[in-house]
Structure 1
């Protein structure tokens, strides 16, 4: 499945419609909830908490969960509490026809329940609550994505900073950079290729010769700007030039190349490859454009 970016949180699966899960042991209630929300949501259904956990395990994160409280085997609040560790951003709503005040208050105070709605529920009221819940989920996801990407940037800067604070052979320093960038950006392969054949280092199954011969690398060097390609295998089927690029024969789907430049002097290129198909890698290129000058300073001062 294609996702937005290598920097996107693994639990985030974008969809044209927000996804929600409705859980109730009474089929008539499930059908009613499905009919209520099917126009605006992709609705998943489960007849018990145990079944709902299996649905989440196979389908992944949803924006909203609506669960009945009184169900066999597992109460709604117990089920919802089990979803918190894996899906902390999901917004949870309880439907109850009983006054289980102690259970509900405990769940709400623990941050496991966003709202509770008493039965029989009013469709318009429930729609309004779910709409607000979906908006809350969107805000949480945006905030967490921003924090996640800021964390990646910090880790990359720390990686470069650690080299400046240590003394190690040039080959070890290059390998440290390639490993750090490859792991932090979840790349399948990462190559740091110095200009004028002065050395290289690789993370993952990267082929230095194929990287050096890549047209994307040549474009990054000539323009001194970051270059990227996405959905490469689909492009190879229709583009003869892309098909001839040996670097992509092993199944690479995305490729980003950042030139490492110091005062107009090209020092190296950083090549990152992913075997997964992403819709865009713009945020990766933006991040590398921020970090690139720091790498250039290190290479110029400590190695070249």
Structure 2
């Protein structure tokens, strides 16, 4: 067995032709005929030719003699057809009436046969036809594999999307499946249909990519930005400032992650940007294939639709929970004249609904020195329902204000804006973290909404997270504002109830005083006492004249 030497620098770009004949003169003739067009490999036996095929399975055409020792040409081509069906097979024979040859042709093991001695032009034309057929089969096979790959990936994504419990699970599923299927270093998705944040960036990282000490969600989030078209960056370092907004900061993020090449694909539903997906490679081994880009566009369309539906469902569910919570709080306000029971219900229901670590309802005005906590829900301490305790116990359980209102920057901002103060992370705070209440643990995230009555602040509702930062979502802020308005009604109702109760007490005391002072002038003391206690009925109607 032997192979032809390399005579051209572009040999690797030539299709491969394997010639098999037990006569060296025929091998040399076939080599001289085709070496300019093909990379010609030679074998003198069928067994040797099978070894070459095993080493170089990308051979395009085989030309084999029929009469060879140990293994006939039809037998060799039959085995080659089973193991390498895409290779085009031509047989040389001087025996056109051979039964084996006819059977091989009928079974499709041979593309064409050429009789000996052959005409060089006819043989060239036959080989060219075989090469055209091989290229066509190769192209159609690649198309079929691409379609199957797309269908498999789309079916996998669709199945997993349907089984995802939340949009967050759906996003993580998408990056995991796409990242593995397209063999990229990083695959990330950042949603933009709600309030975007660093924490909402979902990322897949290939096992081959070494985790960097500087890698975190904020750095990865810098590699994505809003776009309404597919953006291909074959070389990140050569990208222009028009392609990358805030280029200096983002290029630093690319460099920190070792990213060399990227693709950004928008997920758009009904002309609204739902999210952006980015695929990153840490090597420049190949450009982004058009087939992969088209697959990403198709996948993005389906993912955008599924995500939009999932977010819509979540919004409907959140709206239903919000209405149920408001109805519960409204019922608590209407069903009880006990202010503390009402305030306990408001903080408890709101704290549990938003799954916060603490929720406090405080009464204060701009003229007060300190706030007065009248309702508290603390998930960590698990304060019992204050409505079931005595009034003295309620007062001792509620924390006392430690910071004057004038020195509390959160309340001062509340006074200035009359809008909720939202602090997602007190590690990156611009306001002081000093709490207005004496609580066991400091807050890591804070949301404070004012209670308004007649355009003035009469108190506030504060929600806090103590274990980790939290991104307060717009729907959560809106819910707290609605509950704050209901709480303001409850406060006014409680004050009206207390004022009415105080008036009744004063009227009763006045009646008692008047009764005792008048009767003492006309009746003995024993009768006056009975009259005051209600044990004596007096007819004070004047007698008719």
Question: Where does residue 32 of structure 1 map in the other structure?
Answer: 29
* TM-score when normalising by structure 2: 0.45
Question: Where does residue 383 of structure 2 map in the other structure?
Answer: none
Matches within 5 A, 1:210-289: 213=219, 217-218=223-224, 221-230=225-234, 245-248=255-258, 255-262=262-269, 263-271=271-279, 273=281, 277-289=285-297
- Equivalent of 1:87, from 84, 87, 93? 84
Structure 1 or 2, whichever has the larger Rg, is 2
Count residues with an aligned counterpart: 279
Question: Where does residue 204 of structure 2 map in the other structure?
Answer: 202
Shift of 1:132: 0.9
* TM-score when normalising by structure 1: 0.76
Which moved further from structure 2: 263-272 or 21-30? Answer: 263-272
Structure number with the bigger relative contact order (C-alpha 8 A, sep ≥ 6) is: 1
- In 2, Cα distance between equivalents of 1:25 and 1:210: 66
Q: 1:230–1:28: structure 2 CA closer, same or farther, 3 Å change rule? A: farther
Q: 1:111–1:27: structure 2 CA closer, same or farther, 3 Å change rule? A: same
- In 2, Cα distance between equivalents of 1:231 and 1:35: 44
Matches within 5 A, 1:90-239: 90-99=87-96, 101-168=98-165, 172-185=169-182, 187-195=183-191, 196=197, 197-202=199-204, 204-205=206-207, 209=215, 213=219, 217-218=223-224, 221-230=225-234
- In 1, Cα distance between equivalents of 2:95 and 2:52: 26
Q: 1:139–1:232: structure 2 CA closer, same or farther, 3 Å change rule? A: farther
Shift of 1:280: 4.8
Give the superposed CA RMSD. 3.5
Q: 1:271–1:42: structure 2 CA closer, same or farther, 3 Å change rule? A: same
Q: 1:116–1:230: structure 2 CA closer, same or farther, 3 Å change rule? A: farther
8 Å contact from structure 1 (residues 211, 217) kept in 2: no
Question: Where does residue 46 of structure 1 map in the other structure?
Answer: 43
Deviations 1:246-269 (A, max 9, x none): 4337xx7x6544333443425131
Q: 1:38–1:215: structure 2 CA closer, same or farther, 3 Å change rule? A: farther
- In 2, Cα distance between equivalents of 1:38 and 1:192: 49
Q: 1:45–1:153: structure 2 CA closer, same or farther, 3 Å change rule? A: same
- In 2, Cα distance between equivalents of 1:63 and 1:78: 19
- In 2, Cα distance between equivalents of 1:56 and 1:158: 36
8 Å contact from structure 2 (residues 266, 273) kept in 1: no
